[in-house]
Amino acid sequence: MKKKNFLIGSVLLLILLPIWAQKSEPLRVIHSDKLYLTKVQEEQVMRLEGKVHFFYGKTEFHSDRATIFNLQKIARLDGNVKVNNDSLTLFADSLTYYRIPDELNAGGKIYIEENQKGSAFRWFRSNYAIYNQKYNQITVWENVSAYDKEENVSIFCGYAFWDRNEGYAYMIEKPRIITAQEDTLYVNADKMEYFEKERKLVATFNVQAQTRDYRTVSDFLLYFLKEDKAVFTGMPEFHSDYVKAEAGEFYLYFKERKLNRAELVDSCRVEFSEEAMGPKFNWVVADYIDIGFEENQIRSFNAERAVQYRYIRQKTDKNDYFDNTATGDYLEVQFTPENKLDYMKMNMNIKGIYKFQNKS
């Protein structure tokens, strides 16, 4: 008897589904353990339960349960939701699809991945998400995290927007970027923007870039990932165990995401010590300073135009006290691998004062 009822029900569904679909948007049910059709006033409602799989337009849906409203052109899905569209796949606990304006609103354990050549190219996680398929725009918020495989970068924030057509994204609410390199780089700011075509990151206000060995703060950062170059403006400062530097602008150059060289432009000042965390009595000021790094430690710097410096050598068993202040047009400084001063040479228009300890 049960088998007979099942066969009759199946025949009715085969008859009713085409009738239901005549006045609806393109809907194709691939599978559902149970299917119910009801009518509330003028609205026709389809309810699917168990291993639900259907296409609504060009978008493919999977879930445990789904309710589809024909006139309103709305589909509500719940339980193990999966949506496929083009190269994008979305997973969620629940989702509402608005056929007009072709928008998905998802909630609960969101995971969105973009696939290229059969593997995940980048992904997002969040508590909530909106995917506007018409404009190809994604908005995610609350506990947002993301990863970009090509750039090898992880992102964390409270709110993010991604325009896939324009290749543009922005992050707010304590955005943080971490580069997964040997010497990990952390970048924090009030707001971050990413321009995919130029591979350019823009960070604004309260910017801080930090590694194990140094920290740079400023109001504004431009990071060109293709050239591996960062530009800091807005009262930038550089801090490490041995050096403090400030200037109107910083240009940092990286090699495999490791700091290789820095240019300081306009009102430059570098204070340094030969001991880690020691007092930085020694200093150089100039219009332009070029600093060379090795293993994230300063190995040399050249200062040009309106150069002034002071170098103090403390008394040791091997060396006498020495205090030298001078001005000139060009200064070259080299350090040993142990961060000790190797040599200091000034050229052109030199004026200086040299003080030695009185041994009497």
Threshold 0.95, pTM exceeds: no
- CB environment 305-337: b (16+ within 10 A), e (fewer): eebbbbbeeeeeeeeeeeebebbbebbebebee
User: Which pairs count as long-range contacts for 156-164, CB under 8 Å and 24+ apart, including other chains?
Assistant: 157/192, 160/124, 160/126, 161/137, 162/124, 162/137, 162/138, 163/135, 163/136, 163/137, 164/88, 164/114, 164/136, 164/137, 164/138
Tokens 């809907």 appear where? 27
Name which residue leads in pLDDT, 141 or 309.
141
Phi and psi at residue 190, in whole multiples of 5°? -75, -35
Contact 283, 309 (CB under 8 A): yes
Count of other CB atoms within 10 angstroms of residue 47 = 16
Supply the pLDDT for residue 337. 85
Supply the pLDDT for residue 98. 95
Count of other CB atoms within 10 angstroms of residue 281 = 15
Question: Residue 245 above 80 pLDDT?
Answer: yes
Residues contacting residue 200 through CB under 8 Å, at least 6 positions apart? 194, 222, 223, 224, 225
Question: Residue 170 above 50 pLDDT?
Answer: yes
Question: Residue 254 above 80 pLDDT?
Answer: yes
With 0-12 CB in 10 A as exposed, 13-18 as middle and 19+ as buried, what is 116? exposed
- CB environment 149-170: b (16+ within 10 A), e (fewer): eebebebbbebbbbbbeeeebb
State the DSSP code for 17. H
- With cut-offs at 50, 70 and 90, classify the pLDDT of residue 358: low
- With cut-offs at 50, 70 and 90, classify the pLDDT of residue 355: very low
Give the DSSP per-residue string, 138-181. EEEEEEEEEEETTTTEEEEEEEEEEETTTTEEEEESS-EEEE-S
Most confidently predicted of 155-169, 240-254, 284-298:
155-169
Name which residue leads in pLDDT, 111 or 57.
111
Supply the pLDDT for residue 279. 86
What are 25-63's pLDDT values in tens digits? 588 999 999 999 998 888 899 999 999 999 998 899 999
Contact 97, 87 (CB under 8 A): no
| Mean pLDDT value across the chain | 85
What are 174-222's pLDDT values in tens digits? 999 998 666 688 999 999 999 999 999 999 999 999 988 889 999 999 9
What are 284-321's pLDDT values in tens digits? 999 999 999 887 678 888 999 999 988 887 666 566 66
Contact 203, 221 (CB under 8 A): yes
Supply the pLDDT for residue 1. 47
State the DSSP code for 4. H
- With cut-offs at 50, 70 and 90, classify the pLDDT of residue 228: confident
Q: Classify the phi-psi angles of 105: left when phi > 0, otherwise alpha if psi is within -120 to 50, otherwise beta.
A: beta
The yes/no answer on whether domain 2-356 falls in CATH 2.40.30.10 is: no
Name which residue leads in pLDDT, 231 or 117.
231
With 0-12 CB in 10 A as exposed, 13-18 as middle and 19+ as buried, what is 22? exposed
